[in-house]
Amino acid sequence: MSDPAEKRPDSDSQSAILWTDGAARGNPGPAGIGVMLKSPAGAVLVAEGRSIGHATNNVAEYRALLLGLEKALERGVRRVEVRADSELLIKQLKSEYRVKNAGLRPLFEQAAAMLRRFETVQLTHVRREFNAEADRLANEGIDNAIS
């Protein structure tokens, strides 16, 4: 089965694909985030997982996105495609879902502000099995914090 989101943005150094994932065991519970920033050709620019303490999975999803966007901006990325398996995150950022949870509102606003700093943004919801690298990093973040 091929990934329907496998098309790549421009192949220059100012374009990147950002894979993000957040995880919480217990929801809320120990939480981690994973970020994988790749060049359009597939070279890994950033691979990071970290613990974010006690949080919900939706908070973790937003925190992963924020970290990834920060890393992309630090590297001069101007065109980004965000790929995440959180339908809520992607649809809220596309204004297809309202942000009803007051705890998510500040994270949503921060993410929206960061996204405006890019020339172009593509938001892509991917199935969980296509987001395995970011998922692994998020779970490693949790494991490293609780071991």
Q: How far apart are alpha carbons 125 and 83 in whole angstroms?
A: 6
Model confidence pLDDT, tens digit, residues 91-147: 999 999 999 999 999 999 999 999 999 999 999 999 999 999 999 999 999 999 887
Q: What domains does the chain contain, in order, with CATH numbers?
A: 15-141 (3.30.420.10)
CB atoms within 10 A of CB 128: 10
Model confidence pLDDT, tens digit, residues 33-78: 999 999 999 999 999 999 999 999 999 999 999 999 999 999 999 9
CB atoms within 10 A of CB 133: 17
Q: Position 60: which residue type?
A: A
Tokens coding 51: 């613990």
Predicted TM-score (pTM) of this structure: 0.91
DSSP 3-state of 33: strand
